Amino acid sequence: MLNKRERSIFETHFFGELPPAEIARLLGTSSASVYNSISRARAKLRQERTRVTLSLYVRRRAEQGLPRRNVLPSPP
């Protein structure tokens, strides 16, 4: 999912509450690079959250004996 650098930047920004400029200074990189890493990390986490949510939904339906998918009838 997140590589080591992305995870470090993400955790420092969100949990350490450091601004991107400060993170850039600590890592010896540009603020633009930090902003890009934060953006990529958010997108990856959003995608993973969607994957996990859908997986749990499908599993819950299977446990209830409901079909995995709903086939729509053909239009008239």
DSSP state of 72: P
> How would you write the pLDDT of the chain (76 residues) with one tens digit per residue?
899 999 999 999 999 999 999 999 999 999 999 999 999 999 999 999 999 999 999 899 889 988 777 778 889 8
pTM metric for this prediction: 0.75
For helices 31-63 and 4-14, the axis angle rounded to 10 degrees is 90
